[in-house]
Structure 1
């Protein structure tokens, strides 16, 4: 694993780098929990607008305090903004919008769970990554495991064509966004780069939200907790980890980590909300872990 240089990355490879993938999965999996708490009190684009604005301000302050380097060309700024709109805007907007349409979280997770396979299919032509035979087996096992985990929670109510379309948009956003990040933004400073990404996404949301939503918010304790959690833990902690992992590893291998998100989310829902975990789900979790291990295997 290559170590990124501190001047360009803003973060050096930590000694606990072997734990970073597990920490990323744990943090990313809390996104559905935060959405479940916050979306009943705000419309999806309004929710995301507040999230983007708050995180952009926090990271701007951090960048100024640490005197982090900014991109030196508008071309680089443009690439960073496009990657941000894909990862933060289209992906999150699609997921939140589908959930707001009434689509079950398990159904959304299953569609977005196709990301590792989609990433693997296009990573070769785009980035020149070679996928080995056992890795394809791992992708297949991971998909089967994810399907088993969410199968018990699937409902015939898929939220209608709009819900399915929004989930598909989220799938494309996170898949293309991670590849775009790897191809064009690998050397961006994580502090200033993500500041620009959240600012660009927030600007688009600020234009779109007033036309599509009422922008009313019910400021309950649940909503405030969800907003703070998603800002700090997801939009800073998990995103920094994701971009660092993308920089250090093959995009297709990093994408396989997303297979672990539905099983971990199901465990969290079981612990927090008492949602049932049957034998099929437990078996699917084990299958998913084996599949991801094959994809991450070296040699």
Structure 2
């Protein structure tokens, strides 16, 4: 199943950077993030109610959902949307945010007790190298210093949220938990949008509306649910390691969507990155098998 869910997650996550480029041409960054989270939250609440999902109980469950919602939804989406609005390219945004697996791997040991091991670190290094090769063409179109700083903030939010979700997310119902997290993100960003954008701005073109709809349903809905489902099945490092594939896949998708040329360097970077991800996944499976063997003894 992971062989299907993993590639699907990468494809959906990559598409969000391209949709974000179209959407931020029509809507300011904070307004875009706020509206997409509000709409996605309403959609997830409807799904949860229709399917009779269990809602959180107790202060601890609510607290954990709020923490992850602030980090992944508000900080990561809000900062990334603003970075794109500042002129950062989709390729560079994907390249910076794909570094989150390195942060997750480095902190996974002390926070989660997940050790990458030599093979995992080798795979991470190979994957980062491939992502850099694929993203070299985007290093000179980074927009403003503010845009790059916002990408760094988004990177920190996503990595921190991934670690927290992996640590506490096993007891979360994916439907209601995701709904709460998304709405928490919207609640955090809405006052900022009112202050910075002068109100929550809506798209005024068909392209902007379509991009917003894609971001709402596909990225804030389906992709986040896939991320949490994958985190339940694997280690934080192995799941976040899929993000190494996002920059080259984004570059490939940009050919038909944005009309950008596909450079041989992008294809080479994709091949190298895929090799690294395979090594990270193999290291994760070996660790899990070792843990199961130790438990049975």
TM over 0.5: yes
1:8 is matched with which residue?
none
The aligned runs of 1:2-17 (5 Å cut-off) are 16-17=1-2
2:248 is matched with which residue?
263
CA deviation map 1:25-78 (0-9, x unaligned): 111111011101111100111111111111111111111111110111022111
Distance in 1, matches of 2:266 and 2:15, equals 18
- How far residue 136 of structure 1 moved from its aligned partner, in angstroms, is 0.7
Distance in 1, matches of 2:169 and 2:111, equals 14
Query: What TM-score do you get using the length of structure 1 for normalisation?
Result: 0.91
CA RMSD of superposed structures (Å)? 1.3
1:193 is matched with which residue?
177
The 8 Å contact of residues 124 and 241 in structure 2, kept in 1 or not, is answered as yes
The 8 Å contact of residues 104 and 154 in structure 1, kept in 2 or not, is answered as no
* Match status 1:96 vs 2:98: no
1:30 is matched with which residue?
15
Change (3 A) 1:48 1:264: same
Query: What TM-score do you get using the length of structure 2 for normalisation?
Result: 0.92
Aligned to 2:44, the other structure's residue is in SS state helix
- How far residue 203 of structure 1 moved from its aligned partner, in angstroms, is 1.0
Distance in 2, matches of 1:107 and 1:124, equals 28
2:224 is matched with which residue?
239
- How far residue 17 of structure 1 moved from its aligned partner, in angstroms, is 3.8
Structure 2: stretches of 5+ with no match in the other structure: 287-297
* Match status 1:111 vs 2:76: no
The 8 Å contact of residues 95 and 108 in structure 1, kept in 2 or not, is answered as yes
2:279 is matched with which residue?
294
Find runs of 4+ consecutive structure 1 residues off by over 4 angstroms.
none
Higher helix share: 2
2:115 is matched with which residue?
130
1:53 is matched with which residue?
38
Give 1:210's match in structure 2, choosing from 194, 198, 201: 194
- How far residue 106 of structure 1 moved from its aligned partner, in angstroms, is 2.7
Distance in 1, matches of 2:203 and 2:2, equals 40
The count of corresponding residues between Structure 1 and Structure 2 is 283
CA deviation map 1:2-23 (0-9, x unaligned): xxxxxxxxxxxxxx34311011
Distance in 1, matches of 2:30 and 2:9, equals 25
Distance in 1, matches of 2:259 and 2:46, equals 39
The 8 Å contact of residues 98 and 167 in structure 1, kept in 2 or not, is answered as yes
The 8 Å contact of residues 116 and 258 in structure 1, kept in 2 or not, is answered as yes
- How far residue 103 of structure 1 moved from its aligned partner, in angstroms, is 2.1
Structure 1: stretches of 5+ with no match in the other structure: 1-15
